[in-house]
């Protein structure tokens, strides 16, 4: 049985680039023809949700009604796997995110990322990060949602790493609520050091726990450290208590 599971995973990994190119191509064409945000959001959900289903990943969302509907916000989440973003993009209210600049160099896929509003980040260049945050700020103020990983990069486990201040400064500058999202089991599906999803399982489930939004409209940038630390405490406690009820 294990051999069959692994064979399935290998075949899907080999076929996935075809799926990616086809979906990306459709996304680019629809964006050129219509330039419609609702269509872009639909295509992102088809791509991300389809990726999860293709590899046998179910996604359960708790507390989705906590996401602000009439204002922009910033999702902050624990980042341990590429499946964090796929699960969130497929099953949470639509948002955009920043992604490493190398992905934008992939033909068709990179064009699609840019077309739907994903922002390229060159982590080796501080000015690139600042430029992304400036663009995200303008869009959040207009009502967009963004997802940012306060750890800055994928961790080796789902335990929280050290936080960086960027997302918290941005939230204060935008007077936008922070929405903590706890992602469970994504690293089990595909860890930082793995290249093949669900290597030992036929199916798995990622759980997204959406916590209460944290208001920032009353804060100044001087409070960024306190906001960062208090948010980390809230997320760490939720991560360590998976049985805590989230409605």
Plot region of 242 (φ>0 → left; ψ -120 to 50 → alpha; else → beta): alpha
- Residue-level pLDDT at 219: 97
User: Can you list the pairs that 36-44 forms with residues at least 24 positions away whose Cβ atoms lie under 8 Å?
Assistant: 40/115, 40/116, 40/117, 41/94, 43/116, 44/89, 44/94, 44/116
Q: What is the pTM of this model?
A: 0.94
How far is residue 85 CA from its own chain's centroid? 3
Question: Does residue 121 register a pLDDT over 90?
Answer: no
What's residue 110's pLDDT? 96
Partners of residue 199 on adjacent β-strands: none
| Res 241: pLDDT | 87
Residue 145 structure tokens: 């949602």
Q: 122-172: per-residue pLDDT in tens?
A: 877 778 788 888 999 999 999 999 999 999 889 988 889 999 999 999 999
The fraction of the chain above a pLDDT of 90, given in percent, is 87
The architecture in CATH of the region 2-195+203-240 reads 3-Layer(aba) Sandwich (3.40)
What is the token pair recorded at 215? 């208001």
229 pLDDT band, cuts 50/70/90, is: very high
Query: What would the mean pLDDT of 11-33 be, rounded to a whole number?
Result: 97
Nearest to residue 214, comparing CAs of 199, 200, 229? 229
CB 211 within 8 A of CB 61: no
- Mean per-residue pLDDT for 38-55? 97
Q: Closest Cα partner for 188 from 171, 201, 179, 176?
A: 201
Is the per-residue pLDDT at 245 higher than 70? Answer: no
């Amino acid at each position: 049985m294990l051999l069959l599971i692994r064979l399935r995973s290998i075949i899907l990994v080999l076929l996935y680039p075809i799926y990616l190119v086809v979906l990306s191509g459709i996304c680019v064409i629809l964006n050129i023809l219509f330039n419609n945000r609702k269509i872009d959001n639909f295509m992102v959900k088809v791509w991300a949700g389809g990726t999860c289903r293709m590899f046998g990943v179910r996604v359960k969302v708790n507390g989705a009604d906590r996401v602000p509907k009439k204002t922009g916000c910033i999702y902050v989440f624990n980042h341990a796997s590429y499946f964090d973003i796929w699960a969130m993009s497929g099953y949470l209210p639509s948002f955009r995110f920043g992604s490493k600049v190398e992905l934008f160099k992939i033909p068709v896929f990179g064009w699609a990322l840019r077309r739907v509003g994903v922002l390229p980040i060159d982590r080796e260049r501080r000015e690139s990060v600042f430029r992304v945050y400036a663009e995200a700020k303008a869009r959040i103020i207009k009502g967009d949602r963004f997802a940012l990983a306060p750890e800055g990069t994928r961790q080796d486990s789902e335990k929280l790493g050290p936080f960086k201040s960027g997302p918290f400064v941005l939230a204060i500058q935008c007077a936008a609520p922070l929405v903590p999202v706890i992602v469970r089991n994504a690293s089990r599906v595909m860890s930082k050091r793995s290249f093949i999803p669900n290597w030992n399982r036929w199916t798995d489930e990622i759980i997204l726990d959406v916590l209460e939004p944290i208001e920032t409209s009353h804060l100044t940038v001087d409070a960024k450290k306190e906001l960062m630390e208090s948010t980390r405490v809230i997320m760490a406690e939720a991560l360590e208590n998976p049985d805590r009820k989230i409605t």
